[in-house]
Structure 1
Amino acid sequence: MIIESNNINIRQIAESGQCFRMNEIKQDTFSLIAYGRYLQLKQLDDTAIEISCSGEEYELIWKDYFDLSYDYNRIIQKLMKGKDDFLKKAGDYGKGIRILRQEPFEILISFIISQNKNIPSIKKCIEGICNRYGEFKISEEHYKMGYYAFPTPGRLANAKKEELRELKLGYRDEYIIKAAQAIHEGRINLDQLKACSHEEAVTALKTIPGVGDKVANCISLYGLHHIEAFPVDVWINKVLNEVYQNSFDVEQYQGYAGIIQQYMFYYMRSLK
């Protein structure tokens, strides 16, 4: 089926640093593994993508996953009418980015892994975890394509540190196990954190070993869809330091600062 929107670009989403299982398999065609399913997406033009699923599956999963009910063009138009030249350029450059509604547990583990790693290394580690601990599935819609779903909390809660260490996870092995145990045993309920405020979610997430302020903000934005979150990583630090001399007022974008953060991140990476 075809999805049409002025603000959806699969390449931009895949390169925006929020998801790690979306990969280009041929020119302008990407694979995605999420919610235990395999999907292919093809960018047809600036406003349309082809998505390899039924209308029923789209309504059940992917419409929400790609946040297609939210008016991103409203944000872009606000930036275009504003006085911030950097954000005008960033918004225009990355206007196809959307904040995905991803599985919270996958995001929790992914961003624990992400610390002090580049994106290719993060992806390799995540695929290693999926291949060892995830359920193997067959996609009948894609010529019986085999793939691995992201592991359940129970599977990772019972993982051995030695096995995780073999996947090049380093010191993160213990953090992954403890995070999975916290979810599996019910000490942290990620679905409940979706309904909390961003601040309450960050506070709860930071009780998990290995989750500091930056990782908690990433989980809140990319996993719990608190779009007011504003994670500060290396690239955002460059923006804040080099463009704004540490005087950026995030409060003026209250309620959607996470979307602004994505435009900043994507545009700054392109400049460097």
Structure 2
Amino acid sequence: MLRLEGTALPFNLDVTLSCGQVFRWEKKGHWWIGAMRGKPVRVRQDGDRLFFSGAAEDEIVQYFDLDLDLEGVLAGFPDDPILCQAIEEARGLRIVKQPAWECAASYIVATFANIPGIRSRLRLLCERFGEEIAPGEFSFPSPEILAESPISEIRNCRVGYRDRFLSKTACIISETPGWEERIAALPYREARAELLTFPGVGKKVADCIQLFAFHRFEAVPVDVWIDRIIRTYYLEEGERYSYDQIADCARLVFGPCAGYAQEYLFAARNGIMEQKK
């Protein structure tokens, strides 16, 4: 059991794992069931206490980034009514530190799909190519396994045209030792340019990888919801804006941790857009 105090507060496990940044955690009763480092993990929260099994305390702290002064991050945002509403609704949401390969593969698979569809595809991939780590629970397949697998088998996991992207990116990563360290050492713009060389990785996927795996908080993934919110509340109506213009607007409004603001806006998207109806 881990008592949440100091920088570990605020923390809301339910919002953190259900907000759409990760796809392989499932809530069963009071417990969230998932996997970390190829091991089955269970986590539940009761107020300021976090109960878990299958992982060491330092692994839990690192994964949920409980050493981050989240209160300081939130306090550093401008006094913006829309963001304040989102923070009030989703307070305690933390951006988890996902394994880089799993994050990249997940978001390649996630393009043009809703969250239930993404979860279904990833579960099929894990069942077919991962290792069973508990009854009915599977590890995420390594890039080496996917690189060696026929594209037809990957396609059978309902990933559609993304099969060749996943296969090619798995090949590149499996043949590039130290790729994570290289990306982590580059400035944001250069790192994004490097990620864009991977098949299946466009600007949004690259920003998702930077935000959710490398914790580049200036990365602002722009999906249809963030596009609508930024256009509706922060830009002039009737104009055409590119992906980069939307993301740059978010960085201009919210500052160096705009990626964190984006995640809160996404978590509270329904209530925010309901106001404009």
TM-score (norm. length: structure 1): 0.89
Shift of the alpha carbon at 1:253?
3.4
Q: State the partner residue of 1:98.
A: 94
Q: Once the two structures are superposed, what CA deviation does each residue of 1:136-156 show, in whole Å capped at 9, x if it has no partner?
A: 224xxxxxx452110111001
Query: What is the SS of the residue equivalent to 2:268?
Result: helix
Q: State the partner residue of 1:150.
A: 140
Shift of the alpha carbon at 1:249?
4.7
The answer (yes or no) to whether the contact 1:94–1:266 under 8 Å persists in 2 is yes
Q: Once the two structures are superposed, what CA deviation does each residue of 1:73-101 show, in whole Å capped at 9, x if it has no partner?
A: 1122334xx43100111112112111111
Q: State the partner residue of 1:212.
A: 202
Distance 1:180 1:249 in 2: 32
For 1:14-25, list aligned pairs within 5 A.
14-25=17-28
Q: Once the two structures are superposed, what CA deviation does each residue of 1:16-40 show, in whole Å capped at 9, x if it has no partner?
A: 21111111111x4211212212111
Alpha carbon RMSD of aligned pairs, Å? 1.9
Between 95-104 and 249-258, report the one with greater CA deviation.
Answer: 249-258
Between 155-164 and 244-253, report the one with greater CA deviation.
Answer: 244-253
The answer (yes or no) to whether the contact 1:188–1:204 under 8 Å persists in 2 is no
Work out the percentage of aligned pairs sharing the same amino acid.
30
Say yes or no: does 1:239 pair with 2:233.
no
Distance 2:214 2:89 in 1: 26
Distance 1:40 1:19 in 2: 15
Question: Which of structure 1's runs of 4+ aligned residues deviate more than 6 A?
Answer: none
Unaligned runs of 5+ in 1: 139-144
The answer (yes or no) to whether the contact 1:235–1:269 under 8 Å persists in 2 is no
The answer (yes or no) to whether the contact 1:194–1:225 under 8 Å persists in 2 is no
Q: State the partner residue of 1:85.
A: 81
Shift of the alpha carbon at 1:255?
2.7
The answer (yes or no) to whether the contact 2:219–2:259 under 8 Å persists in 1 is yes
The answer (yes or no) to whether the contact 1:106–1:150 under 8 Å persists in 2 is yes
170, 176, 183: which one aligns with 2:160: 170
For 1:225-236, list aligned pairs within 5 A.
225-236=215-226
Query: What is the SS of the residue equivalent to 1:168?
Result: helix
The answer (yes or no) to whether the contact 1:221–1:258 under 8 Å persists in 2 is yes
The answer (yes or no) to whether the contact 1:182–1:188 under 8 Å persists in 2 is no
Distance 1:251 1:70 in 2: 23
Which amino acid in structure 2 is aligned with residue 260 of structure 1? A
Distance 1:65 1:262 in 2: 17
The answer (yes or no) to whether the contact 1:218–1:231 under 8 Å persists in 2 is yes
Distance 1:110 1:117 in 2: 11
Unaligned runs of 5+ in 2: 237-245
C-alpha change, 1:191 and 1:270, in structure 2 (3 Å) is: farther
Q: Once the two structures are superposed, what CA deviation does each residue of 1:167-220 show, in whole Å capped at 9, x if it has no partner?
A: 111000000000100101118812321222221211001011111111111111
C-alpha change, 1:242 and 1:128, in structure 2 (3 Å) is: same
For 1:181-220, list aligned pairs within 5 A.
181-186=171-176, 189-220=179-210
Shift of the alpha carbon at 1:114?
0.6
Query: What is the SS of the residue equivalent to 2:235?
Result: coil
For 1:100-119, list aligned pairs within 5 A.
100-119=96-115
Say yes or no: does 1:37 pair with 2:20.
no
Say yes or no: does 1:71 pair with 2:72.
no
Which amino acid in structure 1 is aligned with residue 22 of structure 2? C
TM-score (norm. length: structure 2): 0.87
Q: State the partner residue of 2:266.
A: 265
124, 127, 146: which one aligns with 1:128: 124
Q: State the partner residue of 1:141.
A: none
Between 244-253 and 108-117, report the one with greater CA deviation.
Answer: 244-253
Q: State the partner residue of 1:11.
A: 14
Distance 1:222 1:238 in 2: 22
Distance 1:189 1:110 in 2: 17
